[in-house]
A and B are shown apart, each in its own frame.
Chain A
Amino acid sequence: MHFTINGQSHEVEPDIRTSLLDLLREHVGLTGSKKGCDHGQCGACTVLINGRRVNSCLTLAVMHQDDDITTIEGLGTPDNLSPMQAAFVKHDGYQCGYCTPGQICSAMGMLDEVKKGWGSHVSKDLTNPELTDEEISERMSGNICRCSAYPNIVDAIREVAGADA
């Protein structure tokens, strides 16, 4: 099977049952994406597929051979952090860090959704939502943080969203 991950080609022959998350971690050595629950309930495994955020634990690798997959490793490197990664560091948007790769990938996908004008459950007006803190929390609710770094995560995302606007 052929995969494109962070712009690089990979040829791997995983078992047909392999989730995209296990492919990344066990077959390609990209261990940034984390396994929290393996059932779509925590968001630690969030990656971007063709720019859209998804839970990599609830999809099969074999279904994504023609897609562009981006993981936390593809967003930036320790020497060259992406703006969102840098904002998480600056605002202390984590404690143990386990949920962080998923939070950051999710935040990237989420800001893209906001740019497309997508509303959320808390938007009063679904056509022209403004990215308030309440909106950030709702839109990030698919990422659970066991350390409860939520206020700082919201600070980091708000800063990057503001810089983008």
Chain B
Amino acid sequence: MKTFDYAKADSPEAAVAAVGTGTKFIAGGTNLLDLMKLQIETPDKLVDISRLDLAQIEEREDGGLTIGALVPNSDLAADPRVVEHYAVLSRALLAGASGQLRNKASTGGNLLQRTRCYYFYDTAMPCNKREPGTGCSAIGGFNRILAVLGTSEQCIATHPSDMAVAMRALDATIVTLKADGDRRRISIHEFYRLPGDTPEIETVLEPGELITHVELPAPPKGNQIYRKVRDRASYAFALVSVAGVLSVEDGKIASASFAFGGLGPMPWRDAAVEAALVGKAPSDAVFEAAATALLADAKGYGSNDFKIPLARRVLIACLRDLTGAAS
């Protein structure tokens, strides 16, 4: 690990004021330190935000929840309001990492965790995300865990978070404090960026911009599900995951919101999936059409081709569960 300066912040304002060149915030440290040990991340300075007073979950007047950026993943998953009204989020969190890691991992850090692409982790190999312009070893290499949607010729990495997938299905908003003292509210739908020619830039955050909160809107109607398919039953990242919220009224799908993990460079959401469902009576034909809409532009890279039929089946299985339709 390269050495660094260390400063502990006691307020969000002090945290952003402490940012200089090459500065990273450190919260739980479970992703950043992992990458620093391998010299994939080499910050000159760490600003320790772990003790900021941002570890509460509060109800708002509009019925939604405001989650402090430092709420640990375990506490968020166990919060009675989340369990009752946003079960998809509890389920997604509990499907991720391990008990120990969830105790440390923070809400803000989870959103910003970096890809698990093997070559991103292997500093001996070219990788455009780690070292822009060097090439992508995964295209034409081992890419079993990588993306089939939203890829570019420069990068086919997936975003590994489970939590962020549920938050995308729940239309979360990310609240930040910028270095100049301005606050921003960014919809999660606008928060992540496609890789394009700059896969090293993953979100719209500016350097030194601190996530202070994540807001969830008032609880959605209907049933919620999170289903994760992975290589072992626990403590493994998603090959494919589906976060779904769906309501049925008068025999027809009244609302639907689906986000996907393991498929794209960001928690994936596609309005075409929901358009294929809303207003229709649940049936396998309708579910098939939704899966076809999701995967219309999917592109496999060899060893990850299996994700395309897998995503189709997992989505259909979730739709059957959510609508109570027998298979």
Which residues from chain A sit less than 8 Å from chain B, CB to CB? 15-17, 19, 38-40, 43, 46, 52-55, 58-60, 62-63, 66, 106, 109-110, 113, 116-121, 123, 126-127, 137-143
User: Would you call B235 and A119 a contact (CB within 8 A)?
Assistant: no
Flag whether B306 is at the interface (Cβ < 8 A).
no
A63–B9 Cα distance when bound, in Å, is 11
Q: Is there a chain A Cβ closer than 8 Å to B196's Cβ?
A: no
Q: Which of B207-261 contact A (CB under 8 A)?
A: 233-235
Q: A40-B30, A121-B95, A126-B90 are in contact. Are A17 and B1 (CB under 8 A)?
A: yes
Min C-beta distance of A147 to chain B, whole Å? 18
Query: Total A-B pairs in contact (CB under 8 Å)?
Result: 105
| Residues of B in contact with A (beta carbons under 8 Å apart) | 1, 3-4, 6, 8, 26, 28-30, 33-34, 37, 48, 50-51, 74, 77-78, 80, 83-84, 87, 90-91, 94-95, 97-101, 103-104, 233-235
Question: Least Cβ distance of B169 to chain A in Å?
Answer: 17
Is B6 a contact of A16 with CB atoms below 8 Å? Answer: yes
Contact partner, A46, options B33, B51, B83, B100, Cβ 8 Å: B100
With beta carbons under 8 angstroms apart, the residue of B37, B84, B91, B234 that contacts A38 is: B37
Interfacial chain A residues near B77, Cβ < 8 Å: 118-119
B37 x A141 contact (CB < 8 A) = no
> Do A55 and B78 touch (CB < 8 A)?
no
- Answer whether A120 and B26 are a contact pair too, CB < 8 Å, given A55-B100, A55-B104: no
- What's the nearest-Cβ distance from chain A to residue B86, in Å? 11
4 additional contacts (CB under 8 A) given A118-B77, A121-B91, A138-B233? A15-B3, A55-B100, A118-B74, A126-B90
Docked complex Cα distance between A54 and B101 (Å): 6
Roughly how many angstroms separate A143 CA and B235 CA in the complex, as a whole number? 10
Contact: A60 with B29, CB < 8 Å?
yes
Query: Residue of A at shortest CB range from B101?
Result: A40
Supposing A118-B78, A141-B234 touch, asked if A16 and B99 sit within 8 A by C-beta, the answer is no
A58-B104, A126-B90, A141-B234 in contact; A119/B4 too (CB < 8 A)?
Answer: no
Q: Is the beta-carbon distance between A54 and B234 smaller than 8 angstroms? A: no
Cα A117 to Cα B79 in complex, Å, equals 10
* Residues in chain B near residue A117, CB distance under 8 A: 78
* Minimum Cβ distance to chain B for residue A1 (Å): 11
Given the interface pairs A17-B1, A38-B37, A53-B103, the reply to whether A58 lies near B97 with Cβ below 8 Å is no
Q: State whether A126 touches B30 (Cβ < 8 A).
A: no
Asked if residues B1 and A119 are in contact (CB atoms below 8 Å), the reply is: no
> Is the CB–CB distance between A120 and B33 below 8 Å?
no
Chain A residue with Cβ nearest B84: A127
Whether the pair B6, A62 counts as a contact (CB closer than 8 A) is yes
Indicate if the CB atoms of A113 and B33 lie closer than 8 Å.
no
Pick the residue among B6, B30, B234 that contacts A55 (CB under 8 A): B30
Contact call A39/B83, Cβ cutoff below 8 A: no
Q: Is A43 within 8 A of B33, CB to CB?
A: no
5 CB < 8 A contacts A-B: A17-B4, A106-B100, A109-B100, A118-B77, A119-B90
Give Cα A107–Cα B235 distance, bound, in whole angstroms. Answer: 16
Q: Which residues of A contact B97 (CB under 8 A)?
A: 40, 142
Q: Which residues of A contact B33 (CB under 8 A)?
A: 19, 58-60
Q: Is the CB of A139 within 8 A of B1?
A: no
Partner of A43, one of B90, B98, B104: B98
- Cα-based distance from A120 to B220 in the complex (angstroms): 23
Contact residues in A for B30 (Cβ distance below 8 Å): 40, 55, 58-59
